[in-house]
Structure 1
Amino acid sequence: MLKLPNEFTAKYRKLLGPKADQLFAAMNDKEPKKAFRINALKQKQDIGYALSKPVLGINNAYYGQVSGSDPEWVSGMVYSQEPAAMFPAQIAQVKPGEKVLDLCAAPGGKSTALAEQLRGDGLLVANDISSSRTKVLRENLERWGVTNALITNESPARLAQHFNNFFDKIVVDAPCSGEGMFRKNPDAVSYWSQDYVLTCQSRQKEILAAATEMLRPGGELIYSTCTFAPEEDEQIVSWLAQTYNFEILPITLSNTNCAAGNPDWADQNPALTNTVRFWPFDELGEGQFVARLQKPASSVITKAKSQRQKRKREKASTRHLTNQEVELIAPVLKPFNLPSALSEWSTRCLVSHDHVFLPALTTNIAHLKILNNGFELGLLKKNRFEPSHQLAMVLSQVEQKQVLELNQPDFAAFLHGETLRGQDKKMQGFILLSYQHLIFSFGKNTRDGVLKNFYPKGLRILKKD
């Protein structure tokens, strides 16, 4: 039984009236709903999950539970995500070729959906202020097979110093009081208070102030939270409209059970009914609030000046491939069908500290904390080239022949980090590995049938099922 704070129940009885009992009952008596999205960037393949209960309003999304040791997850074919949290990225309606920022991106649910909409054309900057969470963000985007993402670990204010009036669309899934996640994460109840709600509101304004600097004139801002609090929802949207003259745009969702925002909970602006709310008692998922706003076409917000700091001159850390290095890499790539993103790899790739990568962006990124720029082909070592795990995830976007299908015991052993023996000797060198016809890694097959393990140590499953 979830024990809700008295201050919380009193607040929502006042705001919701009779519907408050529905909210409290749903938070106490209903199990959190679990769902997943299927990766449209990957080659069409069958998955083992039931697809009988779609999440209405979201492309390729279904109710069901995903395990981190399943081939569907390991191969990047699915992403486990709370169903209501799928809507901000869907509402963004990103088009290929656009420049998109996911400002509070970790762990990556919205970023993977935005990247899927871009389909490798355009730019996704996925940022999070937490260094530990940004590492998880990187893993999820790599698994998803994203080729055009710049992953950064910066504060919004510092990021704004590099991307003034730059992005076509910005998604801000803001840190919040988390009221909408109480039944999924009961620990969130323990740190809730009305003072904490107001602290979150202040932090949200700081984040959004930086976002307004980075959005181009006429660009769109998608603002979302997982809280019910009007202070963090309608009142924040009102503040954006009043302070920056943003227009609150309508949101159209077909076959979706959601409620309109409430002008009475803010400044009576009727346009607040264009925002949407998801309540747990509506049976879609957990609590969520989403607003879609547009920056005035004539508005150019000048970025805040940063304090100048003396910096030592840095030697150029990136360079193009030499002819000799191209000759090392080409034989490794030759057995595979390359997706269009790799069609000009020999001329477009850069090298940094022996890492070969295809950059998503080469300007405006000096002195940023970057975890990944574009995608990594692999690592140059002495007289050889070792392909990256990210390359395996990208190659699975198109049909491949250099693939070895493993059985269940060998799949589990490989994820555990073991070398396999007695494998097919017909394919030599680096090969793609699959289980249930889902590509999940590179291996290196030797002439005597030993399959060397190239599954990243940080992803290995230490305990086999």
Structure 2
Amino acid sequence: MHPNIKLPDAFLQQIESIMPAHLDMEEFIAACQRPLRRSIRVNTLKISVQDFLSRASKKGWTLTPVPWCETGFWIERDTEDTTPLGNTAEHMAGLFYIQEASSMMPVSALLFEQEDTLNTVLDVAAAPGSKTTQIAAAMQNEGALVANEFSASRIKGLYSNIQRCGVRNVALTNFDGRVFGGWLPEQFDAILLDAPCSGEGTIRKDPDAMNNWSRESVLDIASTQKDLIESAFHALKPGGVLVYSTCTLNLEENQQVCHHLKNTFGDKVTFEPLGSLFDGADNAVTEEGFLHIYPQIFDSEGFFVARLRKNTSATPPQVKKRLGKFPFEKVSHKNSDIVAKELKNTLDIILPDSGVLWQRDNEVWLFPGTLEPMIGQIRFDRMGIKLAEAHKKGYRWQHEAVMALATGEESICVELSIEDAREWFMGRDIRPDGLSGKGELIVTLNKDVIGIGKWVGNRIKNGLPRELVRDGNLF
């Protein structure tokens, strides 16, 4: 129980005035006082759901499917298993993401009845990366996914999660989300706007979430959300889908933001109903077809999800662009072939066809090919993956390249013991029993790729980037 949770009277009055007749106020308050069930999402870029279920079973984890996400599960573990989920070998290798169940729903709504492959997607407010990595997995690392985060301090964590999950088709930007309509008009097949909000639905995770709640702040946030949804709508291609979501419950930040878009653009906007998104969705569906999820309905966080279609083109706002010079040059076909051959020879990794090599000084990067039309249109903080640093003696391959491209089946993999893996994650060199070699190698644990090292006699030199080193990380 969370006995200290204080729900402001004005908030409770607001909920009582909008809650549908088939729901109960006492059940709402009781649900807010209960801690959340833990939930995870399997990262299918690294492992199939079936293989993950079999591993979980061996570990004594009980997984219950989340109805609206085929890769999502509520997780229960033996009471003796006190290892933090984030410190398990499976999490460190990027096999799963710790994600609240209802926050998986916006991406499910984005993908719902999606017949065409998504080629270009924008995640407007992406940190810490749960939905970005969920979209990237659904795209199977193909196409291009622009992940934007307004808060510069949260970009590092977003990148770290993308890297751990082996995502290679993402470009990161650091802007106020209101810029996209003018800077990248009609560029995206699909857009997720998981908008900054008052967080009324997050109280089960954060007992302090409501400490600064007020009607004034709700209305202030709603005004920003209306700007953001207009901008996202302009950035969407005609025929494209926009999902708007929040982890809050009031009408001003939810239904009214969607109606604002409809009132602004008229017939150019269609609300697409989500009542058949999953079994039981009709318990949370509004008359417009949005999902308004009170915490007692599915024993989850409070959430709101709407799916909107852009029917025809809309004139975007005009902006004056002043961009600095793009500091990369495309690698020639001849040199790309040399890099690909060297990667295959040294690490037994095949370069994917969907990527394009670019160079900055001695750095070689693999950019998503689909992103090229946007280069020069907006400033990217980071794009694709850094593949290598070029030296006189060849290439120094990068940790993030191995995490995104290696499968664990390569011929030069070395499997670590759990003791050696602990040392590895602490940034230390290791000496596997009875082994030695030369050159670079891929390091695995349970046959999962965890990094790149280099033989120095019978010692493996640790190639983990300094920012990923953690004392006592792995249990």
Q: Partners of 2:400 and 2:117 in 1: how far apart?
A: 21
Among 88, 93, 106, the alignment partner of 2:106 is: 88
- Alpha-carbon offset, residue 51 of structure 1: 4.7
Give the deviation of 1:326 after TM superposition.
Answer: 6.1
Structure 2 residue runs of 5 or longer lacking an equivalent are: 77-83
State the match for 2:469 in structure 1. Answer: 460
- Per-residue deviation, residues 231-273 of structure 1 (Å, max 9, x unmatched): 11111111122212211101122234563444xxxxxxx4x1x
How do 1:93-104 and structure 2 match up within 5 A?
A: 93=111, 95-104=116-125
Report the secondary structure of 1:349's partner residue: strand
After TM superposition, give the deviation of residue 431 of structure 1 in Å. Answer: 1.2
The answer to whether the 8 Å contact 1:96/1:119 transfers is: no
Contact 1:257-1:284 within 8 A present in 2 as well: no
Which residue pairs with 1:278 in the alignment? 293
* Distance in 2 between residues matched to 1:71 and 1:396, nearest whole Å: 17
* Corresponding residue to 2:42 among 38, 42, 48: 38
Aligned equivalent of 2:80: none
Which residue of 1 is the match for residue 403 of structure 2? 393
- Which residue is 1:267 aligned to? none
Q: 1:183 to 1:189 in 2, by over 3 A?
A: same
Q: Deviations over 1:362-389 (max 9, x none)?
A: 2333274423212221222343311112
Aligned counterparts of 1:239 and 1:261: Cα–Cα separation in 2: 19
3-state SS of the aligned residue for 1:285? coil
Give the Cα–Cα distance (whole angstroms) in 2 for the partners of residues 396 and 259 of structure 1: 43
Tell me which residue corresponds to 1:254.
278
2:126 maps to what in 1?
Answer: 105
- Which residue does 2:235 correspond to in 1? 214
2:418 aligned residue (405, 408, 418) = 408
Does residue 1:435 correspond to 2:445, yes or no? yes
Deviation at 1:343, TM superposition (A): 4.6
The answer to whether the aligner puts 1:164 opposite 2:185 as a matched pair is yes
- CA positional deviation for 1:332: 4.5
- Are 1:4 and 2:7 counterparts? yes
Would you say the 8 A contact 2:38–2:100 is kept in 1? yes
Gap change, CA 1:374 and 1:308, over 3 Å in 2: closer
Three-state SS of the structure 1 residue aligned to 2:374 is: coil
Quote the offset at 1:52 in angstroms: 3.2
Q: Indicate the SS of the match to 2:210.
A: helix
**CA distance in structure 2 between the aligned counterparts of 1:258 and 1:86, rounded to whole angstroms:** 17
CA shift for structure 1 position 416: 0.6
Aligned to 2:358: 350
Q: Any idea what SS the aligned residue of 1:224 has?
A: strand
The 1:422/1:276 distance shift into structure 2, 3 A limit, reads closer
Q: Distance in 2 between matches of 1:225 and 1:430?
A: 45
TM-score scaled by structure 2?
0.87
Q: Under a length normalisation based on structure 1, what TM-score does the superposition of the two structures give?
A: 0.89
Distance in 1, matches of 2:398 and 2:162, equals 14
Residues 316 and 195 of structure 1: CA distance in aligned 2, closer, same or farther (over 3 Å): closer
Aligned-residue offset at 1:152: 1.2
Q: Unaligned regions of 5+ residues in structure 1, if any? A: 263-269
Q: Which residue of 2 aligns with 1:203?
A: 224
**Separation in 2, partners of 1:9, 1:111:** 33
Cα 1:131–1:451 change in 2 (3 A) is same
Moved more, 325-334 or 384-393: 325-334
Q: 1:418 to 1:383 in 2, by over 3 A?
A: same
- RMSD (CA atoms): 2.5
